[in-house]
Structure 1
Amino acid sequence: MLTHYKETAADLAYQLKDTLVDHEAFETLLKPCTLERCSATCCYDGVYLSDEEAQGVEWLVENERSRLLGFGLNLPNQVVDVVRNGLSKKTAVRPAEVGELAVDFPSHFNKTRCVFLDSMGRCGIQRLSMEDELGDWYLKPLTCWIHPIVILPAGRDRSRSLITLVSAQNDPQKTEDYPGFASCTHCGREEDGGQPAWKVLEKELRALGELSGRDIYGELSAPTIDY
């Protein structure tokens, strides 16, 4: 089983079943994620959680706190925060310490870190999964490991949801005072010398395909057919 969060995965699988795939976006040139380069920049603000994931994260801390502390984490009593006027939950954050942030850390990001990151940017939840031989992502919230892949809901601009990558121009979190999120992280921004995103994100795309019963990676990697 790919993930511990079966209800959350089922919701995502239902959404992906009829989702459009943005082939053009996945031709964007990206470079593979490495902690040496990015220092877990994408984790600066924690991660939003489903109710199931929030309960799972709290259970982990309650039952595996000693192991997590052994990874060098400094966990607060409350590791899940309720935000957006009580409408959402996310992992708590802490102030970043000197030397923890990437050299080119985006200036519009708060200088904070998810509480599950150690000083080197390694995720304690992922380390638990790997130590217990459950797979790299089994215990991690789904939004963590699909980054920078974005699933945009259906709406006025499209009749079906869309699995895509965002750019500096269309980042859905971009505002007048905030240049965006996914498009500003190391693994989500276009870079000369990179490879097509569908190659770089093969593992994530295959995992999403496994969840949805659909070969998303195969759809993106298939050669063009001339009729």
Structure 2
Amino acid sequence: MAEEKKFEKKIKGLYVDPLIFTHKFVKGCDACICTGECCYYGVYTDKYEADKILAMKDKVIAAMDDSQIKDPDKWFEPPEEDEDFESGIAVGTQVYNGKCVFLDKIGYCTLQKMAMQEGIYKWEYKPFYCIIFPLVVYEGALTIDDDHLNRLHYCNKPENQPSTVFETCKDEIIHILGEDGYKELAEYREEYFKKLNEGKIEVKG
């Protein structure tokens, strides 16, 4: 994973790992192919996100299927301190039936499915780190969650990776940095490759 001291560019308070520009990834997420494999292990949420989900537990339970546990007391792990989260506290989602408690048997996120059924922003209820995968904020840097990516059977195969993370994850990057931040990142990408072609820098990672 990234360490902020390695990187020179900073956008919206986050250092940028140029690996985003070169790391290969699938062209687009399709849960029909992998049944949401990236969600099998659960995810860390900010405490405020976990509290938000628990506050609408009745609605979440109603949207779950028979493969999911409907006891809210078993949805989250004990909280722990983590400076990469807004509140400073991270809360992991539990794994049940070999998958995140919020993943249904088809491979869809119950939280995203709820928002889409309600006709609101698709990521309204979904935790930040679920939304941005394969990106991650680690020690103050926006980088690639290669530890998790390497565990996946579909997304980490070279034959399934025709694009780079930057090319594939525009919506996710905008969610993190905003439209203006994405534009600044795109400009930095051009600058980065110019320096790379001139031999002024070397590819890291």
Which stretch of structure 1 is more off in the superposition, 44-53 or 69-78? 69-78
- Flag the structure with higher helix content: 2
Amino acid at match of 2:175: A
Report the Cα distance in structure 1 between the residues aligned to 2:156 and 2:65, rounded to whole angstroms.
Answer: 34
Alpha-carbon shift at residue 187 of structure 1 (Å)? 7.2
Matches within 5 A, 1:31-70: 31=26, 32-62=28-58, 64-65=59-60, 67-69=62-64
Alpha-carbon shift at residue 181 of structure 1 (Å)? 2.0
Match of 1:162 in 2: 141
Deviations 1:19-67, CA, capped at 9 Å, x for gaps = 22222443122112211222111111222122211111111213x1453
TM-score (norm 1): 0.64
What SS does the corresponding residue of 1:150 show, helix, strand or coil?
strand
Match of 1:98 in 2: none
Change (3 A) 1:220 1:134: farther
Alpha-carbon shift at residue 194 of structure 1 (Å)? 1.3
Say which of 14, 32, 35 aligns to 1:19: 14
Deviations 1:149-194, CA, capped at 9 Å, x for gaps = 02221xxxxxxx3212254xxxxxxxxxxxx423323676362451
Report the Cα distance in structure 2 between the residues aligned to 1:65 and 1:33, rounded to whole angstroms.
Answer: 23
Count of equivalent residues: 175
Matches within 5 A, 1:36-185: 36-62=32-58, 64-65=59-60, 67-69=62-64, 73-78=68-73, 79-82=75-78, 88-95=90-97, 112-153=98-139, 161-167=140-146, 180-185=147-152
Q: Which stretches in structure 2 are left out of the alignment for 5+ residues?
A: 1-9, 82-88, 199-205
Amino acid at match of 1:199: E
Deviations 1:77-108, CA, capped at 9 Å, x for gaps = 422231669x752222212xxxxxxxxxxxxx
Query: Is 2:38–2:152's contact at 8 Å kept on the other side of the alignment?
Result: yes
Q: Which stretches in structure 1 are left out of the alignment for 5+ residues?
A: 1-14, 96-111, 154-160, 168-179
Amino acid at match of 1:181: H
Change (3 A) 1:80 1:16: farther
Which stretch of structure 1 is more off in the superposition, 75-84 or 217-226? 217-226
Change (3 A) 1:219 1:204: farther
What is the RMSD computed on CA atoms of the aligned residues? Answer: 3.1
Check if 1:191 corresponds to 2:162.
no
Amino acid at match of 1:37: I
Query: Is 1:58–1:80's contact at 8 Å kept on the other side of the alignment?
Result: no
Query: Is 1:61–1:68's contact at 8 Å kept on the other side of the alignment?
Result: no
